[in-house]
Amino acid sequence: MSRVLVAMSGGVDSAVSAALMKEQGHDVTGVTLKLWGGPQDQGCCSVSDVDDARRVAQQLDIDHFVFNYGEEFDRHVVGPYVDAHAAGLTPNPCIECNRHIKFDALVSRAKKLGFDSVATGHHARIIETDRGLRLARGVDESKDQSYVLYMLTAQDLSMLQFPVGEMTKSEVRELARRQGLRSAAKPDSQDVCFITASEGRARFLSDRLDLHTADVVDVDGNDLGTIDAVELVTIGQRRGLNLGGNADRTYAVQVDVPSRRVVAGSAQDLLSEDVQLADHVWADKPYIGPVQVQISAHGNQASASLTSDGNVHWVDARRKVAPGQAVVFYSDDLVVGGATAI
């Protein structure tokens, strides 16, 4: 029997993960992370989520604790999110939370407390290969979360368990219903936990950085108007460009925050054959050759090749990837690695 620390967000996936770990005979302890101390009406880790997790732990007759990582969350997730917008980047705070909080700070603490592994409710799998442990897509492709876990190395995976990765979401909910868990019908959290639905991203950022007006021009440099906040524009965006009747120039195809300039163009202008990348993380060693590439949490895969300089070359031209976005590489279901678009 091993000691397992289960990260319990208050949702159904982590609740079932705890139930499965106990069912398998492990000595299970639940923990919920207190991350964001500001206003909150969506996402995970709210006060009500903590209460839901605690009540599930009571149902399962396991110990439950709350770990406060508020300072770390501000430093590694919220601050960089604001800084990224100021620099004209498109960040993914969930990836940074996984990278720095859930699979760094929490796992490190679990080791110090004598736990043998940490289990979470992520829909992903850990596969034993002839080259060691590898991260793979979850069985339920519509709920797969391997994209936001791409930074996990074989060493990281040796300390982790993803109990629901082999299950579909409907199977998870059915198991929760059979066991009478209070989170069985709880909706999935979808949005950034530190941005409220009532006020939104623009208000959140305007409270933390200066937003600047910018000129909007077409691909030939002709003036099309202005926008109120260049820091809120991302490549591929259609809304908020104030283009009026310029129906053929409906996408932001280039965003230059220092120059306070946005280039708007057609869908054709948005196409690119390559993605320049930095800050690679490899599952094994740097890879050159054909891969499937995903550029958003639940986006479709597209065929591409990884070049010798670590960039992506699409088989068929695709829309530009915004700087700051994570780009993750797959071979079948296995994660080959990932990087950040520049």
Backbone angles phi, psi at 329, to 5 degrees: -110, 140
Consecutive H or E run containing 316:
strand 312-319
Pairing of strands 27-34, 63-68: parallel
Sequence length of the chain is 342
Question: Residue-wise over 61-84: b if at least 16 C-beta within 10 A, else e?
Answer: ebebeebebeebbbebbbebbbeb
71's CB contacts (< 8 A; 6+ apart) are none
Q: Kindly list the catalytic residues.
A: 97, 193
Which of 315, 321, 323 lies closest to 292, judged by CA? 315
Contact between residue 124 and residue 149 where contact means Cβ atoms under 8 Å apart: yes
What is d(CA 274, CA 313) in angstroms, rounded to the nearest whole number?
A: 4
Consecutive H or E run containing 51:
helix 47-60
Backbone angles phi, psi at 157, to 5 degrees: -65, -25
CA atoms within 13 A on the CB side of 96: 22
